[in-house]
Copies of this chain bind each other. A is one copy, B any other.
Amino acid sequence: MSKINFSSGLLLFSFLFLVNSSSFSQNTDSVFISKIYKSALTQGNSYEDLRQLCKDVGARLSGSAEADMAVEWGFQKLKSYNFDTVYKQEIKVPHWERGTKESAWLKLQDGKLLKLNILALGGSIGTNGLIKAELLIVNSLEELKKMPKSKVNGKIVLINQRMEDNVIHSFQAYGGCFPIRKSGAVEGARLGAVAVLIRSLSLGENDFPHTGTMQYNDSVGKIAAGAISTNDADKIALLTKNNAKSEIWLEMDCRFYEDKISYNVIGEMWGKNRNEIITFGGHLDSWDAGEGAHDDGAGIAHSIEALRLLKSQNYKPKHTLRCVLFMNEENGNRGGETYATWTKARNEIQIAALESDRGGFSPRGFDIESENAEMIHKFEVLFEQMIPFGLSVFAKGHSGVDVGPLGDEYENITMFGFVPDSQRYFDFHHSANDVFENVNKRELELGCAAIASWLYLIDKYI
Contacts and interface: CB of A to CB of B under 8 A. Distances in A.
A13 interface: yes
A140 interface: no
Most buried by B among A4, A6, A175, A203: A6
B398 A6 contact: yes
A290 B8 CA distance: 29
A279 to B, nearest CB: 17
A42 B173 CA distance: 13
Interface in A391-436: 392-398, 400-401, 404, 417, 419, 421, 423-424, 427, 429
Contacts of A133: none
A4 B169 CA distance: 13
B178 A4 contact: yes
A1 B296 contact: yes
Given A41-B166, A165-B42, A394 B13 contact: yes
Interface stretch (A91-99, A142-150, A440-448): A440-448
Contact of A400 (B1, B19, B333): B1
- List the number of copies, as a whole number: 2
A368 to B, nearest CB: 7
Nearest to A15: B15
A442 B41 CA distance: 27
B423 A443 contact: yes
Contacts of A446: 168, 423
A13 B329 contact: no
A41 B429 CA distance: 20
Q: What range describes how many residues of A lie at the interface?
A: 35 or more
Contact of A395 (B9, B364, B389, B404): B9
A161 interface: no
A345 interface: no
A11 B395 contact: yes
A331 interface: yes
12 contacts: A1-B296, A2-B213, A6-B172, A7-B397, A8-B395, A9-B397, A10-B396, A169-B390, A392-B393, A423-B440, A423-B442, A424-B442
Given A13-B16, A13-B394, A423-B440, 16 more contacts: A1-B400, A1-B401, A2-B329, A7-B171, A9-B395, A10-B396, A12-B394, A12-B396, A15-B15, A15-B16, A168-B389, A169-B390, A362-B362, A392-B393, A423-B442, A423-B443
Closest 8 CB pairs of A and B: A7-B397, A392-B392, A6-B171, A5-B398, A4-B178, A38-B166, A4-B175, A1-B357
